[in-house]
Structure 1
Amino acid sequence: MPLPAQPLRQLGFLTIGLFDPADPGRGHESTLRLVELGEELGFDSAWVRHRHLQYGISSPVAVLAAASQRTERIELGTAVIPLGWENPLRLAEDLATVDLLSGGRLNPGVSVGRPGHYDRVASALYPHTAEAEDFGYDRVRRLLDFLRGEPATDFDGVEGIEVYSDRVQPVSPGLAGRLWYGGGSLRSARWAGEQGLSLLTSNVVRAEESEDFAEIQRSQIAAFRARHPEGGRARVSQGLVVIPTDSASAEQRAKYRDYVRGRTPRTAAPQGPARTVFAPDLIGTSTEIAEQLYSHAAFREVDEVVFALPFSFGHEDYVQILTDIATRLAPALGRQPTL
């Protein structure tokens, strides 16, 4: 097995936090238990995905607030919050509050763009301003300004017995420096670099210069670092779906392979008008997955990963996968468990 240029430095995982609409509390509790398990297994970070009008986590900041009170060390991230659904000022208040509650462990990841199925949700989301809303990068800039403590109003002082600040409160020092941007195109990668943000890459990219997923992702990482003030030291985290089967039962292996088999056809060619390219899910023993990662052009450019858990598995499946990642796959990638 070839050795990487440097060992894996940061090990994270991502969950969508699916739940049964008949019993949503149970699903949210499962997510919190996985975060606790991640800390016990020595993961450096746990991330939650954001889903609106679906049976997954719709309020990641609230979920991470709860997770912050049940963990002590593990970093907590969002991958990603689509800002088209958010008011940057209100989101800045929530993020800063949770960062303080966690002791400075929050890693907010955001993205921009029109909300999905906007024609169906616009009247509920922005009933009077749907056509005037700007879903571009300015929302990220506003969020950054608020997190950095830039003025949000021209008034501060005392009015009666009330004391007002001209800045978003609370302020959590250092939080703005931990903002990540989730990008899948060359334009977004370059922009994130110019803003000095960190870059979250996932298993979805846009075919622009190539149709090979690994090469597309490698090119985007290079474009990001070329524009970033820190150059090659700029933080990039890669998120792929990996399913180690080392300790899986025969029944679990069969289920996992059926899952991967059903998703593989979409990886054969760019999909839709946006020419979306999906990465193949990686399944097998930890040794086999490590070999595939070492041969992955983009993986060779990073030393941080946020491995994504499959969408539709059960809690015990996730326990097995996380345990194998931490105790078998991570060492195969040059990182020893920090239990």
Structure 2
Amino acid sequence: MKKIGFLSFGHWTPSPHSQTRSASDALLQAIDLAVAAEELGADGAYFRDHHFARQYASPFPLLAAIGARTSRIEIGTGVIDMRYENPLYMAEDAGAADLISGGRLQLGISRGSPEQVIDGWRHFGHLPSEGATDADMARAHTERLLDVLRGEGFAEPNPNPMFSNPPGLLRVEPHSEGLRDRIWWGSSSNATAAWAAGLGMNLQSSTLKDDESGEPLHVQQRKQIEVYREAWREAGHTREPRVSVSRSIFALVDDRDRAYFGREGNSKDQIGYIDANTRAIFGRSYAAEPDVLVKQLAQDEAVAAADTLLLTVPNQLGVAYNAHVIESILTHVAPALGWR
């Protein structure tokens, strides 16, 4: 069995061709799609986090709302940019969302991607320490978050508090037991995958990765997963880690599918630069008749190696069509590959 969920970037634009013409549309439809995905038997509803953009941001109200409307499906992010986050405030928000959902939160975090604005994290009040980079700051915020999520007291109580305190040092509340083991790191390189394993985080590998060998994306990701799992073993963690990969996959089962994605059938990996110094490989899209998709996906080494597959969805096409995209994979593709 392989867990199958969806990943939405939450795009919205005031265009007559978009089903999400406002932030309100995008958010409310995200809740409806998560409910529909649960009813279809999908395993996860995941959401991207981008600041200063017409996409999802501030994920915790959305996750809490979905947690209140659903009962089984995992809810998560892929990913939250840790350069922008106050780790203690984030621990409070995450703890509340996890408790509302009954312990279903799967929180994907990372250093973040190229931004809409220059050094946007500065506007949120965050500055790297002297001699450090913004990536260093993101990792420092992450390590602090992980420490806080352990639930151990660290703050000295006021001797004259407004309300009575339990004995000893105080922790951030609300605390959700087990959330610390459901933090994922979105890694674009082998080195950061190993770093995440050392800290006991699960691994998310997206449709974009640092091009470290010139090989196809799925091969590089499979090797990244191997590096991660070896680092996990060396760290001596006792639980089994989880690994997800993201893919754009469309089963062409009706005329709508062929009109929207028929031309994606010849898609290939692409090489580009996400900043001046980082050469990256961008993964292909899969779009074909179900029997062809089964053969293509059987050759994807990273999908085979991961326990979780996140389907990127075109959210601007509306809830009904995106539910159809998810159902097509669950019905026509997953059983033939042994995922269901």
Change in Cα spacing, 1:217 to 1:335, as seen in structure 2 (3 Å) is: closer
Q: Which runs of 5+ in 1 are unaligned?
A: 1-7
Who is 1:253 aligned against?
258
Q: Do residues 299 (structure 1) and 299 (structure 2) align?
A: no
Q: Does the alignment pair 1:135 with 2:140?
A: no
In 2, Cα distance between the equivalents of 1:297 and 1:236?
A: 13
Of 227, 232, 236, which aligns to 2:243?
Answer: 236
Alignment RMSD: 2.5
Post-superposition CA distance 1:191-230 (Å, at most 9, x none): 1111121101111111112332111111110100010035
**Residue 95 in structure 1 maps to residue 94 in structure 2:** yes
Aligned pairs, how many?
Answer: 322
Q: What TM-score, normalized by structure 1, do the two folds share?
A: 0.86
CA contact (8 A) 1:75 1:105 kept: yes
Q: Cα deviation per residue 1:29-88 (whole Å; 9 max; x = unaligned)?
A: 111111001110111111111121111111211101000111011111111111111101
Q: 1:53 to 1:320 in 2, by over 3 A?
A: same
Quote the sequence identity (%): 30
| TM-score, normalization by structure 2 | 0.86
Q: What amino acid maps onto 1:143 in structure 2?
A: L
Shift of 1:157: 5.3
User: Quick one: which of 150, 154, 171 aligns to 2:152?
Assistant: 150
Structure 1 match to 2:12: 19
Distance 1:232 1:177 in 2: 9
Cα distance change on mapping 1:123 and 1:205 into 2, 3 Å: closer
Mean Cα deviation higher: 267-276 or 277-286: 267-276
Q: Work out whether residues 47 and 56 of structure 2, in 8 Å CA contact, stay in contact via their aligned partners in 1.
A: yes
Q: CA deviation at 1:311?
A: 5.6
Q: 1:110-156: per-residue Cα shift (whole Å, max 9, x none)?
A: 002587256353552238x4675652422211101111113342x12
Query: How far, CA to CA, are the matches of 2:198 and 2:144 in structure 1?
Result: 16
Aligned residues of 2:270 and 2:283 also touching (Cα < 8 A): no
| Compared CA separation, residues 123 and 107, structure 1 to 2 (3 A) | closer
Say yes or no: does 1:78 pair with 2:83: no
Counterpart-to-counterpart distance in 1, 2:312 and 2:260: 17
Deviations 1:284-335 (A, max 9, x none): 1222222111111212212321111136433332122011122222212213
